[in-house]
Each structure stands twice: as structure tokens, then as C-alpha cells.
Amino acid sequence: MRNVLRVVALTCLVMAVVGPWMSPGYAEPYELSKNDVMDPKALKSTEVSLFGVKLGDSEATTLDLLVNEKIPGIKVEQEALFIFLIDQRKPTGPMAGVRIQDGKVDLIFINNRFSYKTRGIFRNVLNSESPDDVRKLLGQEEYGDENVMGAILAYDKQGFVINYLGKDVNVEFSPIR
């Protein structure tokens, strides 16, 4: 009987500590370079991070994580409102970055040059062959525009937009409105 009481007490203790973290609204953060999130419905821009930087982070935190902390294989450049991450292997342009406005990160972007670092569903999005491939992965967009030049697929309820221009695919994460 004592052992049963110990098990019950230990279970209650674990649930008291872990339980508040597991509320129905809690979602696992999605680090673009680490997590293999594959459920498109689970993705929200507010839970996305780029090397630890999330939307709403302060400029000081962002500078510490992206500029002061060395990221292997990545060169960092700061221009005006943007911090660009450039692949040192092929430094043809930014592969990812953030925009800082009013002292806070208000935009995170990645493009197909970043696909080798990206995990989860966005690796497939960045390597997609057509806007229809993107729709198969993420579902129907809320609105968009498609023409002979490319497509814009807006997923506003989740806080991101896909810009598709031939082989160039860009994903922009912004606060959910």
C-alpha cells in the first residue's frame, strides 16, 4: 500500500510541475534549423525562431544571437533595418534574416538558399517545384495571386506568406494580425 501511495504522490507531483505547461493552447516552438515539424496546421509565426530569434524579440537579444554569437558556416551582415544571414559556401545573397523595426523583430524570412539548413515542412516548401506543390504541403492559402511570373500564397491566420518566383522561393513570417 505504501508503494502505491508513493507512486500516486510522485505522479501528482510530476503533473503539478508539468501540467501548467501542457495547456491546450501551448504549442512547441519551431526552430527552423532544428525541429522537424511536419503538421502545417501546427505552424504559427509566433512560434517560429531563426537561430533562437523570434518575432517580438528585442534588438539587443537579436544582435546577441545572430551577430555576436558565431553561427558555423554563416556570415552575418547588418544593413539598415535588416540582419542578413549569408551562406559562406555560396555568398550570392542572403539566405535568411530578420527585420528590426521600433526596436523589435517584426519579420523573419528564409529562402531556398536556406533549404539545406531548414528542417521540417519548410525544407519541402523551399524545394517545391510549383505553387501547387506548396499547396499540397501547407493546404489552400487564404488568398494570393498567381500569374506567369510566379505566385504569392498568403497564410495570414498562421502568420506567413510564400513568395514563389520560379526557382526562387521565399517565406516571410510576421506577427499574426
Evaluate whether 175 touches 55 at the Cβ level (below 8 Å).
yes
Q: Which residue has the higher pLDDT, 10 or 108?
A: 108
For 3-103, strand residue ranges (E) read: 30-31, 48-50, 53-54, 74-79, 82-87, 94-101
Query: Cα(19)–Cα(22) distance, rounded to whole angstroms?
Result: 5
- Which pLDDT tens digit goes with each residue over 16-34? 433 333 333 344 578 998 9
Residue 36: band (very low, low, confident or very high) from pLDDT cuts 50, 70, 90: confident
Using CA atoms, how far apart are residues 172 and 72, in angstroms rounded to an integer? 23
Q: What percent of the chain has pLDDT over 70?
A: 84
Question: Above 70 in pLDDT, residue 96?
Answer: yes
Adjacency order of strands within the sheet including 104-111 = 74-79, 82-87, 94-101, 104-111, 168-173, 160-165, 151-155, 143-146
Q: Give the model's pLDDT for residue 28.
A: 58
Which of 8-12, 39-43, 87-91, 94-98 is most confident? 94-98
Q: Tens digits of per-residue pLDDT, 103-160? A: 999 999 999 999 999 989 999 999 999 999 999 999 999 999 988 889 999 999 999 9
CA proximity to 57, closest of 7, 99, 90: 99
Rounded distance, CA 44 to CA 8, Å? Answer: 37
pLDDT at 43 over 60: yes
Section 36-65 average pLDDT: 93
Portion of the chain with pLDDT greater than 90, in percent: 67
pTM of the model: 0.81
What value does the mean pLDDT of the chain take?
84
Q: What CA–CA distance (Å, rounded) separates 64 from 33?
A: 18
